[in-house]
Amino acid sequence: MNKRTVVIAGAAAAALAGAAILLPNANASPDESAGAKTFSSRSAVKLATALASDLGDNAAGWYYQGDTRRLVMNVLNEDAANDVRAKGAVAKVVENSMAELKATTKTLSDTASIPGTAWSIDPKTNKVRVTADRTVTGTKWATLTKAVDGLAGKATVQRTNGEFRKFDGTDETQPGADGGAGQGGADDGAGQGAGQGGADDGAGQGAEGAGEQAGALDGGDAIFGGGARCSLGFNVTVDGAPAFLTAGHCGNIAETWATDQAGAQQVGTTAESQFPVSDFALVTYDDPNTQAPSTVDLQDGTTQEITRVAEASVGLAVRRSGSTTGVTDGTVTGLNATVNYGNGDIVNGLIQTDVCAEPGDSGGAMFAEDAAVGLTSGGSGDCTQGGETFFQPVSTALEATGAVIGADNP
């Protein structure tokens, strides 16, 4: 081999080595970032909130990757991306700002307010995700798709097999009668109780019998009023008096609530109810001496203590307790959601999830670890077919009613 051949061969080897380094980077996912740290969901929320505040208009939403335990921050430029990476989060440069996505939801409300539709902001796709149920056909479908097509790629539309409805039930509706597992049942039902591992960092670690006294109700327990069955959300206090939160569409149905179908064991009176637009109600216990524990019923003889309130974030692992289907789990999939149940019943500012629910579960508690997150509103499908479920943020209900929860709830 002459000297020139050796030089050429060496150059070729160097080129191949360079390609081996460059090609993987060229094909890398925009969600990947060298040196990204792992976070618990709680610490991810704390960091994301701080970063969003620091970045201002350059922040475009964020989400949590439960499988990798990484925080992904959407940003609008590389300078902001560098700030995100310096804090150990994954930076994803996106096209649409949060202001543009919120404006997109406003446009949809103005041009496509169609019963059987819902939309929410999805930071994973950096778009507004529009969902149409099985009733949206013909001219309704044409109107919806035309509106989405006119949003310059800021929204997508998809179908769901179910029909959007509120999840209040009747007195006669028994747990599990709508196809779900029911309390104590198998798949996705109450049998998933405290021992399954639950949401991120031990949400399923219930405190057996934590503070519960005779006659006290927990989140997820059945309440009856006005011919309807709903579920209690979270126990709270208002000016020191015991009360609980449930769904607003339940509060609109009945003035008084009982723990039995016949109404013989009255427990509380509706003090405030907001539906539509929002979906929460405050019910005060009739006995001011009621010892109402800050707990959620895990439907297996144990309870989960609730000590705080958490804002929902896409990717957050959550659980829901309700009087029809017991305890089910899933993740948050969208924020700032709007759902149109029909007959003028349109609710805004909801949390969208893939957690299943059924009639009778309305008002029930959605929680993550020891944190209260949402109150069950409605959705599509059931706990056999699956579907989407929407929740009223607890934080909004507390702010509106002046109630306190968890560690602030004696």
Query: Per-residue confidence at 171, pLDDT binned at 50, 70, 90?
Result: low
Q: Rounded CA gap, 145 and 356, in Å?
A: 27
Q: Which two tokens stand for residue 298?
A: 């895990």
pLDDT for 407 equals 66
Q: For residue 371, is pLDDT > 60?
A: yes
Model pLDDT for residues 49-95, shown as the tens digit of each residue: 999 999 999 999 999 999 999 999 999 999 999 999 999 999 999 99
For the stretch 218-250, pLDDT in tens is 999 999 999 999 999 999 999 999 999 999 999
Which residue in the list 249, 321, 377, 382 is annotated as catalytic?
Answer: 249
pLDDT digits (tens, 9 = 90+) for 301-331: 999 999 999 999 999 999 999 999 999 999 9
For residues 24-49, give the mean pLDDT.
74
CA distance 405 to 294: 7
* pLDDT tier at 216, thresholds 50, 70, 90: confident
CA angle 93, 118, 326 (to 5 degrees): 100
Across the chain, mean pLDDT equals 86
Residue 348 has pLDDT above 80, yes or no: yes
> Of 40-54, 130-144, 206-220, which range is least confident?
206-220
Distance CA 395, CA 256 (A): 24
Of 168, 200, 279, 329, which residue is the catalytic one? 279
As a whole number of angstroms, the distance between CA 13 and CA 32 comes to 28
List 362, 370, 377, 382, catalytic entry? 362
Q: Is 362 one of the catalytic residues?
A: yes
249 is a catalytic site residue: yes
- pLDDT score recorded for residue 373: 98
Q: Bigger pLDDT: 63 or 179?
A: 63
**Active-site residue, 297 included:** no
* Residues 191, 185 contacting (CB under 8 angstroms): yes
pLDDT of residue 18: 42
Confidence of residue 409 (pLDDT cuts 50, 70, 90): low
Angstrom distance (rounded) from CA 67 to CA 40: 11
| pLDDT given at position 23 | 35
User: Per residue in 43-79, is it b (16+ CB within 10 Å) or e — as a string?
Assistant: ebbebbeebbeebeebbbbbbbbeeebbbbbbbbeee
Instruction: State the SS3 of 185-212.
Output: CCCCCHHHCHHHCCCCCCCCCCCCCCCC
Q: What is the rounded CA–CA span in Å between residue 188 and residue 193?
A: 10
| Residue 69 backbone zone (phi > 0: left; psi -120 to 50: alpha; other: beta) | left
